[in-house]
Chain A
Amino acid sequence: MLFQLILSGLATGSLYALTALGIVLIFNNTRTINIAQGDFGMFGAFIALMALSSGLGFGGALVLSIVAVILIAVLMHLLVMRWIEDADWLILLTATLGVYYVLHGVSGWLWGRDTKSFPDPFPKEPIEFLGAMISKGHIFVMIIAFVIGGLLFAFLKYSKWGTAMRALKEDKYCASLMGIPIKTIIILTWAVGGIMAALSGFLLAPIIWVSPGMMDTVLVKGYAAAIFGGLYSMPGAVLGALFIGVAENIAGGYLGAEYKVSLAFVMIIIMLAIKPTGLFGGGKRREV
């Protein structure tokens, strides 16, 4: 029983990880606490649902939803965030809150506020894994999430653009001196953040179904996970997400599913209480 809870917890956790990665990526490169990150995914899920119901396959629906979300994220940058780039982080957060409102309103207007079911792209039948029963879908989801995480990691580590992104994170001024095209990189950041959001929306949709508010609690968990990495570290965020997935599944199994969100808050607080700079944070910060 416990092992089973852990296993399916890892599956949901890996989906939170996608949201958390998008959050950390955008925060690192733009100082933005993006409240709309979840709703990017929500919008993508609706687009995918539309595509599916108009007869497109899962692959086509996924591609369409990714393209749409990239578009939204980049537009958000070009129309809103770009103009306040140098403002206080508080202002940046507020602007994303405005976008959150708009995305919520537009999706409610286009598709209604009721919850819609989303077909499961993966087979449901359970298989045995090290003595625990787990649905094939969960395994697929986990594998996909890890492949994506791995791709993102490889992209940041080895590609020219990824290296430039990391340089930007270290020191914007230095990066500009080194001839790194900051403007392009920031657009790229939002695009990659959008891809992460679209994927997490698409993969979560069969589990939590589709509605304008579907990603609200996922957003909270994504941020709780990001706190594990002190908001800066991607491995920290992934670990945090997996941990939250497992912990809430265990707590849900024993206490009741209603308390899952409270658990995310409890973890944020515990994390801040014992190691406020995150598991992988720390070191001296530049002060004066």
Chain B
Amino acid sequence: MKNNYIIYLENIETIYEGEKLPVIQNINLKIKSGEFIAIIGPNGAGKTTLLETINGLLPYTSGKGFVYGKEVIKNKLDIRKETGYLIQNFEIDPQTPFLCKDIVMSGRSGKIGIFKLTTKKDWEKVWYSMGLVGMIDFANRPVGKLSGGEFQKILLARVLAQQPRILLLDEPFSNLDFTSKIQIETLLNRIHEKHNITVVIVSHDLSFVPSSCDRIIVMEKGHIIMDDAKENILSSEKIDNIFQNGVLK
């Protein structure tokens, strides 16, 4: 039953506007509340497309999709308010005239609700999540002046400030140095355990699947080709054809 799953996709197919061929097809994906999932696959496999289909940024062209038991097509805004989405390789102009704290607050802008002003409580959430990613000192700095990794952490703080039920993270470790990777991995593990958030991360790197992750989905050419417990995937032979020493061929 679709109500037993926090994300429930049935025979989903997504075609980009103006294109003829679907980028992802026959997607059947059932995720229970509180799962920690990694989606891996080569460039162009359709990982980003899948994430954006889940939160309704891209409309699916056939099949059925439910998130929180609500049909995605009809409840996009409600679903997104409860779903944090970290965009892959988001680039900004160094002159961008926005302060980090305002960007982090903007994560809550939908959730707070229309006709409501931001309150002290909202700001506390902002400070708290900036603290979690270790970026509290950057609150009043312009976002354009950050390094790639620092900006990545601000974007992560932005989705954490939203206090979502589901976190969709597209390559959260890209741009991060080794220390920051460990730091963010630990953070994700902790948030997942403490708040029982459902986490879906997209990653290139098999060696960097967070320890809390219990299930791995492998995508290739728009299809889900494997979907199993982490240990099974990591020990499967098929995976060696796609990865070499944990890194994509």
Asked if chains A and B come from one complex, the reply is no
Q: Which residues of A are in contact with B by a Cβ distance under 8 Å?
A: none
Q: Which residues of B are in contact with A by a Cβ distance under 8 Å?
A: none
